[in-house]
Amino acid sequence: MLKNYFKIAWAVLQRRKFFTFISLFGISFTLMVLMVVTSLFDHVFGPQMPERGTDRLLFVNNLREEQGEGYSSSGPPSYYFLDRYVRRMQTPEKVSINSVFNPVNSYIHNKKLALDIKHTDQQFWEILDFHFLEGNPFGALEVKNASRVAVINQTTRKNYFGTGPALGQTIEVDQVKYRVIGVVEDVPVLRIQSYADVWVPITLKSQDFKDTGLRGGYFATIKARQAADIPKIKEEYARIIQQVSQLNPKEKKQVHSYPDTILESFARNFLGSGKEDKVGFLYTMLALAAFLFMLLPTINLVNINISRIMERASEIGVRKAFGASSNTIIGQFVVENVFLTLLGGLLGFLLSAGVLALINDSGIIIYAQLGLNLRVFAWGLFLCLVFGLISGVYPAFKMSRLHAVEALRGGSK
Amino acid sequence: MIQLQDIEKVYRTKTIETVALNRVNLHVERGEFVSIMGPSGCGKSTLLNIMGLLDEPTSGVVSIDGQPVKTHSDKQLAKLRNEKIGFVFQSYHLIHDLSVVDNVELPLLYRNISGGERRKRALAALEKVGLSTRTRHFPSQLSGGQRQRVAIARALAGAPEIILADEPTGNLDSVMGEEIMEILLRLNREEGTTIVMVTHDEHMAHKTNRLIRFFDGQQVADSLVLEAQI
């Protein structure tokens, strides 16, 4: 029976080429946009190198201080705060303190290279899953001794050393010379917790350590022993923040800071003023946006489908006359429509692959390697099916209600 | 086989009420070849549609094999149509996007039988109407007579006990019409298929066993053809 439905679906697609084009264009373009957005979302918030085990990772990248009379300020925490309070937490397996990345200049063969440098401890390399192409990360000894060693990314390696050897060579960044001990795969800029071009020991920035303010220019990366420990870590962190808030009761200072997943961090900082957890709200907004974005082409497809099916009223009449029930007719048209949307989805995939390749090549997002991985593919397939069902069920239901006699007359009712 | 009791069919709009069938009582016996005649608009096709369970009467009882169908669900009616009844329409109603053999397979699609078996039975039905060489053609590639033969093959494919034919020769010239009539007569004679045929053609009607005449939604004559000819 399915074969017969596909034969009909294919013949109908070929019969009205303009309708088919409009339908397929609408479906494939909509899905392409949704797929690109999904891919971007996945790229920013999904588990990606070097932040792979996202179910066990938390990040502290913001601290908000509120005092009376509505005065508040927020920004990354200080090394002092993180070292004194966060590094000493009991529930996490490991805690790393690392600086925000800073833009610096470097010169090679009289050519300026704009690089981003990040200062990290050795735990940074133990927690995150960097892909080392050459050499190794720096360890506890290099951090303790404030050794001038650097791990660089593959693009910096290429710009500096071309095809020649890189390990053991010297690079000069911001007028400081470092010995290269490792080369890693490029990390996309949107992974702000781990991104940089050059990573050097945190102790080379020890002048920051003396500042006893709560805010500075540092992040903490926390790894849980197991995913189930995440709530316990958050509870312990909340107790720390409460303790910090009460250090000087006279100041009446309120401190807000949270260890968040990547998505929580984004939602809290952009939608929750650094305080409220807005992940639910973010998901609702995204779902609503996707729904509204799909609504217009869906309505369009419903209309096209109704006129397409109306033309086939006589066929519906014949099928009913020869034994098709109303449900069978609905099934047939839904199958046909899902076939059409899957075809549109396939085109959408191809278009998405093209657009993602263009984004990757354009360098709009530094070191971005957006792709259609299995997660994105599954989402795309799901969207196709939703699209196909929504736009196919109503016209099919409407037409299945047609009396066989009316249908045989050409669907005048 | 088919029993109609006090069948009325009334079409109502806001301003007008049209009586298409008025207290029709009719019993078609198994193996009969009945023709129904009457002027246009007298209710012949409506009657055929009601017999074929494609339309519902406003009042009265339709029974197939002694079983009233009034309380049947959409699914049960579909099953009855599929297994008991085959239709032949004046304007063929073939599906243009499907090949001849796929069209003929249509009634078998709604039964739980394999693709191979469906194809075998469809080819056998095409053989019976002399179209076994056109199985891969599409309806648009056939003449009117050939299309009607495909329609008959489609009606036969499910081996129904009843064939309802609504002016099967109406769109055909006399030679083609005779051919189609011969096929129907052979089916009735050799396979015992019960056939009810609506026609405008007196000549064709006189080839059948029984002739029923309609006028203004009412049955005005019902006679065996031999008696009528006498």
Report pLDDT for A274. Answer: 66
- The domain segmentation of chain B, as residue ranges, is 2-229
pLDDT higher than 60, residue A325: yes
**Confidence band of B228 (pLDDT split at 50, 70, 90):** very low
pLDDT higher than 80, residue A388: no
Question: For A356-368, what is the mean pLDDT?
Answer: 78
Report pLDDT for A183. Answer: 96
CB A318 to CB B105 under 8 A? Answer: no
Question: For B96-102, what is the mean pLDDT?
Answer: 91
Report pLDDT for B174. Answer: 85
Residue numbers in B near A7 (CB within 8 A): 97-98, 102
pLDDT higher than 80, residue A169: yes
Residue numbers in A near B115 (CB within 8 A): 3
A15, A309, A318, A329: best mutation site toward chain B, by most B Cβ within 10 Å? A318
In tens, the pLDDT along A7-47 reads 777 777 777 788 788 888 888 888 788 888 888 888 888 77
pLDDT higher than 70, residue B229: no
- CA nearest neighbour of A48 among A150, A158, A190: A190
Question: For B43-51, what is the mean pLDDT?
Answer: 92
Residue numbers in A near B44 (CB within 8 A): none
pLDDT higher than 60, residue B227: no
Residue numbers in B near A319 (CB within 8 A): 106
pLDDT higher than 70, residue A376: no
pLDDT higher than 70, residue B25: yes
pLDDT higher than 90, residue B37: yes
B113 and chain A: CB distance < 8 Å anywhere?
Answer: no
Residue with tokens 């009909």: A8
Shortest alpha-carbon distance between residue B44 and chain A (Å): 14
Nearest to B106 among A322, A327, A405 (CB): A322
pLDDT higher than 80, residue A359: yes
CB B111 to CB A323 under 8 A? Answer: yes
What is the four-CA torsion angle of B78, B81, B82, B86, rounded to 10 degrees? -150
Report pLDDT for A21. Answer: 85
**Confidence band of B21 (pLDDT split at 50, 70, 90):** very high
Residue numbers in A near B86 (CB within 8 A): 322
Cα separation of the two ends of chain B? 28
In tens, the pLDDT along B84-94 reads 999 998 888 99
CB B105 to CB A322 under 8 A? Answer: no
Residue of A nearest to B50 (CA): A405
In tens, the pLDDT along A81-111 reads 999 999 999 999 999 999 999 999 988 877 8
CB B111 to CB A320 under 8 A? Answer: no
Secondary-structure class of domain B2-229 per CATH = alpha beta
CB B54 to CB A3 under 8 A? Answer: no
Nearest to B82 among A4, A315, A323 (CB): A323
pLDDT higher than 50, residue B77: yes
Shortest alpha-carbon distance between residue A235 and chain B (Å): 60
More confident residue, A262 or A390: A262
What is the 3-state secondary structure of chain A? CHHHHHHHHHHHHHHCHHHHHHHHHHHHHHHHHHHHHHHHHHHHHCCECCECCHHHEEEECCEEEECCCCCEEEECECHHHHHHHHCCCCCCCEEEEEECCEEEEEEECCEEEEEEEEEECHHHHHHCCCCEEEECCCCHHHHHCCCCEEEEEHHHHHHHHCCCCCCCCEEEECCEEEEEEEEECCCCCCCCCCCCCEEEEHHHHHHHHHCCCCECCEEEEEECCCHHHHHHHHHHHHHHHHHHHCCCHHHCCEEECCCECHHHHHHHHHHCCCCCCCHHHHHHHHHHHHHHHHHHHHHHHHHHHHHHHHCCHHHHHHHHHCCCCHHHHHHHHHHHHHHHHHHHHHHHHHHHHHHHHHHHHHCCCCCCCCCCCHHHHHHHHHHHHHHHHHHHHHHHHHHHCCCHHHHHCCCCC
Shortest alpha-carbon distance between residue B42 and chain A (Å): 17
Residue numbers in A near B52 (CB within 8 A): 321
A13, A308, A315, A322: best mutation site toward chain B, by most B Cβ within 10 Å? A322
Residue numbers in B near A320 (CB within 8 A): 54, 78, 81
Please tell me the distance from the alpha carbon of residue A368 to that of residue A357, in angstroms, as a whole number: 10
Report pLDDT for B210. Answer: 93
- Mean pLDDT for all residues in chain A: 86
pLDDT higher than 90, residue A144: yes
CB A324 to CB B110 under 8 A? Answer: yes
CB A7 to CB B74 under 8 A? Answer: no
Considering A3-7, A67-71, A310-314, the range whose residues carry the highest mean pLDDT is: A310-314
Question: For B39-44, what is the mean pLDDT?
Answer: 89
pLDDT higher than 60, residue B230: no
In tens, the pLDDT along A218-249 reads 999 999 999 999 999 999 999 999 988 887 76
B97 and chain A: CB distance < 8 Å anywhere?
Answer: yes
pLDDT higher than 80, residue B22: yes
Report pLDDT for A331. Answer: 86
CB A323 to CB B107 under 8 A? Answer: yes
- Mean pLDDT for all residues in chain B: 90
Helices within chain B (DSSP H only): 44-51, 74-84, 100-109, 115-128, 144-157, 174-191, 202-205, 225-229
Q: How many CB pairs under 8 A join A and B?
A: 76
Report pLDDT for A357. Answer: 87
Residue numbers in A near B81 (CB within 8 A): 320-323
In tens, the pLDDT along B200-220 reads 999 999 999 999 999 988 888
Q: Give the whole-number percent of chain B exceeding pLDDT 70.
A: 98
CB B93 to CB A317 under 8 A? Answer: yes
Q: Which of A20-29, A114-123, B191-200 has the lowest mean pLDDT?
A: A20-29
CB B109 to CB A1 under 8 A? Answer: yes
In tens, the pLDDT along A202-216 reads 999 988 888 888 999
pLDDT higher than 50, residue A412: no
Which residues neighbour A215 within 8 Å (Cβ) at sequence distance 6 or greater?
A63, A65, A73, A74, A75, A76, A77, A78, A81
